[in-house]
Amino acid sequence: MKIKKISKNVWEIPRENEMNAPVRVFASEKLLKAIKQDDCIKQGINVSTLPGIYGKSIMMPDAHQGYGFPIGGVAAFDVENGCISPGGVGFDINCGVRLLASDLDITKIKLKINELMEELFNNIPCGVGKDSKLKLSDEDFEKVLNTGLKWALEKGYAIQDDLDRCEENGHMQTADASKVSPRARKRGRNQLGTLGAGNHFVDVMYVDEIYDKEVAEVFGITKKNQVVVLIHSGSRGLGHQVCSDYLKKMEDEFPDIIKNLPDRNLTYSPTKSKLSKDYLSAMSAAANYGWCNRQLIAYHSRLVFNKLFGDDGSLNTIYDVAHNIVKIEEYKIDGEMKKVYVHRKGATRAFGPGHKEIPEVYRNVGQPIIIPGSMGTASYVLVGTDKAMNETFSSTPHGAGRIMSRHEASNTFNEEGVRKNLTEKNIYLKSASKAGIIQEAPEVYKDIDEVIKVTDEVGIGKKVAKLIPVGVING
């Protein structure tokens, strides 16, 4: 496989053989070396063989091996003659992040950090098999799927401002709960408002550095040392089952497609088929569930903050954005505006200034982008750019990106070592399991600072602020 350097931080694997487009990788030399360690470039090439792909099969600086599509992969397909692939969204539909800001200064939090983290841990169900405290009626569950955050608003779990500052306003209109199977419903029924396990987390952080004061202020990041809360979770078992159901439906309906694919998990349905429409309806319902899930976690975080800090502890949503999703968006391709299905598998939407889908309050500056690091490192807030519109179908990285498997991490690190490392950095850690601590050790991820540097240099997102953790809840 030939990897050609196009310019600083930009690499390409030219189109050949079965490929319908070249593969473009955005990475520094250091990150490219990490990316080459596993099979993710091969997976990026596999994506380029799918029908109706526009431009390039894109890989982000945080890319690593996934299942079918690489994680950190972006691909756009023609709405008429392209394809929709559940694997290009992933099992955790609308896995994403929500950032909330308080007016508190970090010095106020530090005195009560133990109490704060214990309270958050006790009020947010996390870990494998931990059910929600919420018992939903059939009618409510249907509304969660069909209307997303509108349901949360109606029930008092959200305020209008949360909807205004959320991708799709937390409500994908293409959702149709009747396309979600009874199995998926059963898996999701008792999990709304739960964090889950693995790499899902709630972080209490502070603003360490502001790079763009003007944009930061528009986002509600007003000063250094300001306390913020970052939530990472998705659509839980419901989303996983929706993906699984539709992979199988597509296999049944299009057996010849799956037979000829380099990886069975790439299976897809042609965009114009009824099955594609059904999948989009079900995926949108799962996405609505995902937004309600993060909303409930935010709601419980708010109660804890208000209890401990009174009105000063109010948490305002900065933004909530998905990083596993497929959307219809419009781009200028070969001089013509075209609608495409953009698959983002571990990539964040990054609309530049003026885009009509950005909340009105942010429209002049661009969409907020939230990129979490690992539990021991910084996370970043960036802003969307016009460059991303042209280069990456308005997409940017979604995290640091793993570099070491969980299995290898278990053989390399121990709980005491990771705890000591975090304690030395003054980070208070609560985890649902010992294994979670070891498998999410900061060293299993690529260097987040390097990922952000490349993103900023390439211009597919511009740095706004740097956040440092003081408390971590690991799922």
Q: Which residues are catalytic?
A: 398
**Per-residue tokens: 296:** 């409930």
Interface residue with other proteins, options 44, 52, 66, 376 (CB under 8 A) = 66
410 binds other proteins (CB under 8 A): yes
Looking at 104-112, 206-214, 282-290, 434-442, which segment touches other proteins (CB under 8 A)?
434-442
Q: How many CB atoms lie within 10 A of CB 78?
A: 18
Q: Cite the DSSP H helix spans in 25-112.
A: 29-35, 40-48, 106-110
What is the rounded CA–CA span in Å between residue 181 and residue 189? Answer: 12
406 binds other proteins (CB under 8 A): yes
303 binds other proteins (CB under 8 A): no
Q: Which is nearer to other proteins, 196 or 220 (CB)?
A: 196
What is the rounded CA–CA span in Å between residue 311 and residue 316? Answer: 12
127 binds other proteins (CB under 8 A): yes
Q: How many CB atoms lie within 10 A of CB 420?
A: 11
Interface residue with other proteins, options 123, 244, 306, 412 (CB under 8 A) = 244
260 binds other proteins (CB under 8 A): no
Q: Is 19 helix (H, G, I), strand (E, B) or coil?
A: coil
Amino acid in position 190: N
Least separation, in Å, of the C-beta of 241 and other proteins? 8
Interface residue with other proteins, options 240, 343, 349, 398 (CB under 8 A) = 240
Residue pointed to by tokens 């910084």 = 378
237 binds other proteins (CB under 8 A): yes
Estimate the share of the chain in helix, then strand, then coil, as percent rounded to the nearest 5. 40, 25, 35
What is the rounded CA–CA span in Å between residue 117 and residue 322? Answer: 25
Least separation, in Å, of the C-beta of 32 and other proteins? 15
Interface residue with other proteins, options 90, 368, 376, 442 (CB under 8 A) = 90
What is the rounded CA–CA span in Å between residue 22 and residue 9? Answer: 16
**Per-residue tokens: 264:** 């069975």
Q: Which is nearer to other proteins, 80 or 252 (CB)?
A: 252
**Per-residue tokens: 346:** 């571990």
What is the rounded CA–CA span in Å between residue 198 and residue 230? Answer: 16
211 binds other proteins (CB under 8 A): no
Q: Is 69 helix (H, G, I), strand (E, B) or coil?
A: coil
User: Which of the residues 142 through 181 are near other proteins (CB under 8 A)?
Assistant: none
224 binds other proteins (CB under 8 A): no
Q: Which is nearer to other proteins, 238 or 381 (CB)?
A: 238
Interface residue with other proteins, options 267, 379, 385, 392 (CB under 8 A) = 267
C-alpha distances in Å from residue 304, one per residue of 48, 196, 274, 298: 47, 19, 46, 10
Q: Which is nearer to other proteins, 346 or 352 (CB)?
A: 346
What is the rounded CA–CA span in Å between residue 247 and residue 82? Answer: 17
Least separation, in Å, of the C-beta of 382 and other proteins? 23
Interface residue with other proteins, options 71, 350, 383, 452 (CB under 8 A) = 71
Q: Is 84 helix (H, G, I), strand (E, B) or coil?
A: strand
Running DSSP on this structure, what letter comes out for residue 324? E
User: Which of the residues 315 through 374 are near other proteins (CB under 8 A)?
Assistant: none
Where do contacts with other proteins occur on this chain (CB under 8 A)? 37-38, 40, 64-68, 71, 87, 90-92, 127-129, 183, 186-187, 191, 196-198, 237, 240-241, 243-244, 247-248, 251-252, 263-265, 267, 402-408, 410, 433-435, 439, 475
